[in-house]
A and B are shown apart, each in its own frame.
Chain A
Amino acid sequence: MGKALTWVALGMGAVLVVGGCGTSGAPKVEQDSKAPLELWTRTTPGGDGEKGMKKLAAAFEAKTGQKIQVTAIFDDFETKLSQRAAQKDLPDIVMNDSSQLGTMVSQGIVREVDLSKVPGTDQLLESALSSAKAGDGKVYGVPYSAQASALLIRKDWRAKTGLPVPKTWEQFTALAKAFTTQDPDGNGKSDTYGLAVPGSTKRGYASWYFSNFLWAAGGDFIAKQPDGHYKPAMSTPESTAAVKWFRDLACTDKVIQPGAATMDTPPTNETFEAGKTGMYVVGPYLMPRFDKSLGKDKYEVVPMPKGAKDSTVLAEGGSVYLMAGSANEAAQNSFASYVISPEGQKLGMEGDKAFSVQLPVNKSVDVTTVRDDPRWKVYADVYRDHARYAPSIPNWTPIRQDSADTINALIADCGLNLETEMSTLDGKLSAALSKQGVGAS
Chain B
Amino acid sequence: MSVKEAAPPRAAPRQHGQTAKPRRRSGQWWVPWLFLAPALILFLYFKFIPMAQAVSMSVQEVRPYLGNTWVGTANYSEILSSDSFRSAMGNTIVLAIGQTFGSMVLGFGLALLVEGQTRKLTFIRSAAFLPVVVPLAVVAELWRIMYHPTSDGLLNQLLGLIGLGPSGFINDPDTSLASIAVTGIWRGAPYDMMIFLAGLAGIDRGLYEAATVDGASTRQRILHVTLPGLRPVFAILFVLAAVRGFRSFTEVFLLTNGGPNGSTEVVMTLIYKLGLEQNRLGVGSAGAVLLFVATLVLTVCVQLLRRRRTA
Contacts and interface: CB of A to CB of B under 8 A. Distances in A.
A76 B173 CA distance: 28
Main SS class of interface, A: helix
A247 to B, nearest CB: 13
B152 to A, nearest CB: 6
A260 B2 CA distance: 49
Contacts of B277: 78, 203-204, 397, 401
A413 interface: yes
A1 B4 CA distance: 10
Interface in A72-90: 76, 78-79, 82-83, 85-86, 88, 90
A79 B65 contact: no
B64 A86 contact: yes
B170 interface: yes
B172 interface: yes
B3 A4 contact: yes
Contacts of B148: 258-259
A412 B261 contact: yes
Interface stretch (B52-60, B92-100, B123-131, B198-206): B52-60
Given A4-B2, A412-B259, A107 B304 contact: no
Given A14-B52, A82-B281, A413-B173, A8 B296 contact: yes
B66 A3 contact: no
A196 interface: no
Report which residue of A12, A82, A85, A106 has the largest number of chain B beta carbons within 10 angstroms of its beta carbon: A82
B310 to A, nearest CB: 13
Given A1-B307, A82-B281, A200-B257, A23 B67 contact: yes
A119 to B, nearest CB: 28
A262 B53 contact: no
Given A22-B60, A264-B257, A16 B149 contact: no
A71 B56 CA distance: 32
Given A259-B149, A413-B173, A82 B67 contact: no
A22 B172 contact: no
B11 interface: no
Contacts of B1: 4
B276 to A, nearest CB: 5
Interface in A1-46: 1, 3-4, 7-8, 12, 14-16, 18-20, 22-26
Given A15-B55, A16-B55, A258-B149, A108 B258 contact: no
Contact of A262 (B51, B57, B170): B170
Interface in A55-85: 76, 78-79, 82-83, 85
Nearest to A261: B260
A95 interface: no
Report which residue of B57, B152, B261 has the largest number of chain A beta carbons within 10 angstroms of its beta carbon: B261
Nearest to A20: B56
A362 B53 CA distance: 45
A408 B2 CA distance: 46
Contacts of A401: 273, 277-278
B82 to A, nearest CB: 10
A107 B63 contact: yes
A78 B51 CA distance: 21
Interface string A83-106: 101101010000000000001001
Interface in A192-220: 199-204
Contact of B171 (A7, A19, A259): A259
Contact of A324 (B48, B53, B65, B304): B65
Interface in A260-305: 260-262, 264, 267
B229 interface: no
Nearest to B51: A15
B90 interface: no
B65 A108 contact: yes
B262 interface: yes
A408 B260 CA distance: 6
Given A401-B273, A412-B171, A412-B260, A22 B56 contact: yes
Contacts of B60: 22
Contacts of B168: 258
A416 interface: yes
Contact of A85 (B48, B64, B255): B64
Contact of B56 (A19, A25, A204): A19
A387 interface: no
Contacts of B63: 106-108
B256 interface: yes
Interface in B263-311: 273, 276-279, 281, 296, 300, 303-304, 307
Interface in A290-330: 324-325
Given A15-B51, A261-B260, A24 B67 contact: yes
B150 interface: yes
B49 interface: yes
Given A1-B307, A19-B57, A412-B172, 9 more contacts: A12-B55, A15-B56, A18-B56, A103-B279, A107-B63, A107-B64, A189-B152, A412-B259, A413-B173
The 5 nearest A-B residue pairs measured at CB: A19-B56, A24-B67, A412-B260, A409-B261, A108-B66
Interface of A: 1, 3-4, 7-8, 12, 14-16, 18-20, 22-26, 76, 78-79, 82-83, 85-86, 88, 90, 103, 106-109, 189, 191, 199-204, 258-262, 264, 267, 324-325, 395, 397-398, 401, 405, 408-409, 411-413, 416
12 contacts: A7-B3, A22-B70, A23-B68, A26-B67, A107-B63, A201-B257, A259-B149, A260-B171, A262-B257, A324-B65, A412-B171, A412-B172
Interface of B: 1-3, 48-49, 51-57, 60, 63-68, 70, 144, 148-150, 152, 168, 170-173, 255-262, 273, 276-279, 281, 296, 300, 303-304, 307
